[in-house]
Amino acid sequence: MAVEKGQVILVSSVFCDLQIQSNAGLHSIINVHSGITLGSTLSPAELSLQKIRSGSNLLIMLQSEKERNAAIRVVGKGPSGARVFDASHSGKLAGDWNLTTIPIPVIMEIGEEGLYWFEILLTGTVIGKVPLTVKFDRLPRQQS
């Protein structure tokens, strides 16, 4: 792949339970996943009205030829196309093709099962998309 001068490359973007950064700037990624399963006693109709608050961590890894300021935005959409998440992050990319890692905590109100898509934008341009599958385990209701 030919790399243009001044280009920024999206190296990877993953959902994970936790990421830890050492004093040396190295990141450890714990429990990378492509989906989450939530337990609920609610029916699908009840879930559409009464959503469950949950989330994960999105780790974005970029490389840039030059050190530069970057405006990163993440927009998440549910299976129906409704926007469920929107966050921005401003920071500096390292330059010299060094890896810059940007953690984005993703907390959202979930009311439907299916495939959620998260667009990663750099200065308003989509540079990648990350899927996240959401499933519900139906739990029996407690009898009182």
Over residues 86-102, the pLDDT tens digits come to: 999 998 988 888 888 88
Per-residue pLDDT band for 24 (boundaries 50, 70, 90) equals: low
Q: Which amino acid makes up residue 61?
A: M
**DSSP letter at 46?**
H
Are the C-beta atoms of residues 87 and 104 closer than 8 Å to each other? yes
Q: Which amino acid makes up residue 14?
A: V
Q: Which amino acid makes up residue 46?
A: E
pLDDT tens profile 126-141: 999 999 999 888 777 7
Q: Are strands 35-40 and 125-138 parallel, antiparallel or unpaired?
A: parallel
Domain boundaries, the chain: 8-138
Choices 2.60.40.10, 3.40.50.620, 3.90.1170.30, 2.60.120.10: CATH for 8-138: 2.60.40.10
Query: What gap in Å lies between CA 6 and CA 117, rounded to an integer?
Result: 28
pTM, 2 dp: 0.82
